[in-house]
Every structure is written in structure tokens, then in C-alpha cells.
């Protein structure tokens, strides 16, 4: 290219007009806006997913902790739908302790979202640790032995004229009455006990209130309240709301009819604690709500 041609090109005033520049800027703005929206949406989705994963992990860890403690507990008390107290033997505690102690799990908070806490002691207060958050409901515990069944009221031992009217060795005797409803389902009441100071001719009459829908009642008894080796065993199935136990622990041959408790006899159904944990990170629209449910059969305290 010759010198004059190069000079003419550099001296030219042709370029981009204002209209062309505005069109380019509008197109660039549209592209950037779309990319910004995409990045913001991805960022929000990442935060939501992270919160959801964290809530699910905490929920599963909390449920696992509840399972371990309920199954190892020597006693379980469902205080309300939002509070449960377990009594843990020393070997079930971390760190291992010399004696048993109560621990309370509860859904704390005045309104959703609630938090699941574990407290040392028998109340939702004091020294505690939060196990999970973002609970959508504080109705989390049920117990099939709370107050559903008939409540037994053993009277004081009635004296008998001879061993044929009843005989018990000295000790404390416990009874459980279950209401048998349609389908053979047994609903347990609270276990009651009565003590006998000296072995002599006597008998124990157990009475209870009627349960709606019950077709019969199973009476379990004789457990002395200090061991679960034999536990409560079914003594009779009755259609009335009372049962008279003649005992006959010694001498069995002198009682009519003879009733001897053995491990071959049926035992009452174990207690079951139901747990329902409903979690939701965004309680306003329930977009991320999920639930964990379990029915835990009590191993050490199910007949207490």
C-alpha cells in the first residue's frame, strides 16, 4: 500500500454511529441481565440446598440419638406431645456415669420453626444442647401406654380364712390390665402395685374403669416390681372390670383354682414411643418440608 493510501485511511472519519452503539449496549445489557439472573438463581438454589442438606443431616442424627436413648432407657415418660423424659442407666450415658439420670428431649419455641433440644434433667430447662432446628411442628411424641387404657386400682390385700381363699408370699405385686378391642389389639393402662407385709391367707382384687370398645380384658400380674426376668404374665381374660387374684405362690396345691406364673405364659405388649419430626427450612411456603417417622419399641421399660 502506498503512502498516500495509508494517509487517506487514517484521515477517514468513518466509524460507529451513536445508534449502533446504543443497540450494542442494549444487547449487552440484556445478556448481562440474563447472566446475572442465572447467577443469582444458582446462588439461591445452592444456599437452599445447603440448608436442606444440613437440616436433614441434623434431623437424622437427632432421630438416631432418640432411638439409642429410648431403647436403652430404664424408664420413659412422655410428658406431652412435645416433651419426653428418658432415664438412662450409667452405662447408657456419655461419658459413662456411676448412676442413672434423667434426660429430656423437647421441641422448644413459641412458634414455628421449633428446635429439638436435649436437656440434662427431667424438664425442658437448664443445661441443654440443640440437636436439630427448623421443626415445622412441636407435636412430635406419642405413647401407646400413656392414658389410653384402663387404669388399675388394686385394693389392699383381703384376708382369707384359708389358703383356698388365696395365698401370697411377702412382697410387692404389680398388675397391668389391657383392653382387648376389635381385631385383638391390646391397649395397656398404667401399671399399679400393692405390697404384702407377711405371707398369710389373702387375696388381691384388681379393678379398673371400662374402656370404650373393649370386648374383653387381659389381666397380667405377679411381677414383684424389681426384676424383668419373668416380668408380668397373663393371669386371666375376663369380660368384667375386676379380677380377684388368689396368688397361690405357696402352697400352690392348696389353692382352688391353682394359678402359677411361669415364663411360658403370655406377657403384655411392650410400650411403643412414636416419633414424628417434620422439618421445613422455608416454613412460609413449605417448599422444603420433609418428615422422619419411627415407632420405637421399648426394650428395658416397655412394661413399666
Do 118 and 179 lie in one domain? The reply is: no
Do 283 and 134 lie in one domain? The reply is: yes
Do 162 and 250 lie in one domain? The reply is: yes
CA distance 120 to 94: 12
Q: Tell me the pLDDT tens digit for each residue of 110-134.
A: 888 899 999 999 999 888 899 988 8
Predicted confidence at residue 215, as pLDDT, reads 92
Checking if the pLDDT of 26 tops 80, the result is: yes
Do 168 and 124 lie in one domain? The reply is: no
Checking if the pLDDT of 105 tops 90, the result is: yes
Checking if the pLDDT of 302 tops 60, the result is: no
Tell me whether residue 9 is in a domain.
Answer: no
Tell me whether residue 18 is in a domain.
Answer: no
Do 118 and 185 lie in one domain? The reply is: no
What residue numbers bound the domain in which 129 lies? 50-144+271-297
Tell me whether residue 178 is in a domain.
Answer: yes
Tell me whether residue 39 is in a domain.
Answer: no
Tell me whether residue 36 is in a domain.
Answer: no
CA distance 176 to 258: 20
Do 60 and 85 lie in one domain? The reply is: yes
Share of the chain above pLDDT 90, in %: 11
Do 134 and 216 lie in one domain? The reply is: no
Predicted confidence at residue 228, as pLDDT, reads 42
Do 242 and 286 lie in one domain? The reply is: no
Do 250 and 282 lie in one domain? The reply is: no
Tell me whether residue 12 is in a domain.
Answer: no
Q: Tell me the pLDDT tens digit for each residue of 242-272.
A: 888 887 655 555 565 556 666 677 887 777 8
CA distance 49 to 37: 18
Predicted confidence at residue 145, as pLDDT, reads 61
CA distance 71 to 103: 14
Tell me whether residue 63 is in a domain.
Answer: yes
3-state SS, residue 62: helix
Checking if the pLDDT of 224 tops 80, the result is: no
Average pLDDT of the chain, as a whole number? 78
Do 181 and 210 lie in one domain? The reply is: yes
Predicted confidence at residue 286, as pLDDT, reads 66
CA distance 222 to 267: 11
pLDDT band for position 226 (cuts 50, 70, 90): very low
Do 182 and 109 lie in one domain? The reply is: no
For 192, the grid coordinates are: 399399679
| 44 to 38, 55, 248: CA distances (angstroms) | 10, 16, 74
Do 223 and 282 lie in one domain? The reply is: no
Checking if the pLDDT of 179 tops 70, the result is: yes
Is the CB of residue 167 less than 8 Å from the CB of residue 202?
yes
CA distance 278 to 261: 44
Tell me whether residue 20 is in a domain.
Answer: no
Predicted confidence at residue 129, as pLDDT, reads 92
Predicted confidence at residue 155, as pLDDT, reads 55
What is the full DSSP assignment across 120-149? ESSSS-SSEEEEEEEES-S--EEETTSSSS
3-state SS, residue 244: strand
Say how many domains are in the chain.
2
Amino acid at each position: 500500500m502506498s503512502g498516500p493510501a495509508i494517509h487517506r485511511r487514517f484521515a477517514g472519519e468513518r466509524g460507529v454511529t451513536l445508534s449502533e452503539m446504543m443497540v450494542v449496549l442494549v444487547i449487552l445489557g440484556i445478556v448481562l441481565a440474563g447472566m446475572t439472573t442465572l447467577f443469582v438463581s444458582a446462588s439461591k438454589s445452592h444456599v437452599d440446598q445447603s440448608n436442606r442438606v444440613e437440616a436433614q443431616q441434623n434431623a437424622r442424627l437427632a432421630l438416631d440419638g432418640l432411638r439409642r436413648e429410648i431403647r436403652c432407657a430404664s424408664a420413659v415418660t412422655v410428658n406431652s406431645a412435645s416433651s419426653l423424659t428418658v432415664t438412662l442407666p450409667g452405662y447408657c450415658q456419655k461419658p459413662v456415669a456411676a448412676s442413672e439420670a434423667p434426660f429430656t428431649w423437647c421441641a422448644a419455641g413459641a412458634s414455628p420453626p421449633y428446635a429439638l433440644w436435649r436437656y440434662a434433667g427431667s424438664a425442658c430447662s437448664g443445661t441443654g444442647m440443640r440437636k436439630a432446628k427448623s421443626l415445622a411442628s412441636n407435636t412430635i411424641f406419642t405413647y401407646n401406654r400413656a392414658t389410653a387404657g384402663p387404669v388399675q386400682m388394686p385394693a389392699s390385700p383381703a384376708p382369707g380364712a384359708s389358703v383356698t381363699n388365696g395365698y401370697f408370699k411377702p412382697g410387692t405385686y404389680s398388675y397391668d390390665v389391657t383392653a382387648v378391642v376389635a381385631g385383638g389389639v391390646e391397649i395397656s393402662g398404667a401399671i399399679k402395685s400393692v405390697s404384702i407385709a407377711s405371707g398369710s391367707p389373702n387375696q388381691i382384687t384388681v379393678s379398673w374403669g371400662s374402656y370404650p370398645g373393649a370386648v374383653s380384658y387381659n389381666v397380667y400380674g405377679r411381677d414383684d416390681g424389681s426384676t424383668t426376668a419373668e416380668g408380668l404374665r397373663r393371669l386371666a381374660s375376663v369380660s368384667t372390670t375386676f379380677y380377684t387374684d388368689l396368688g397361690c405362690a405357696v402352697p400352690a396345691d392348696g389353692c382352688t383354682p391353682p394359678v402359677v406364673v411361669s415364663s411360658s405364659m403370655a406377657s403384655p405388649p411392650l410400650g411403643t414411643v412414636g416419633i414424628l419430626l417434620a422439618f421445613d427450612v422455608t416454613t412460609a411456603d413449605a417448599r422444603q418440608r420433609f418428615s422422619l417417622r419411627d415407632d420405637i419399641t421399648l426394650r428395658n421399660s416397655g412394661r413399666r
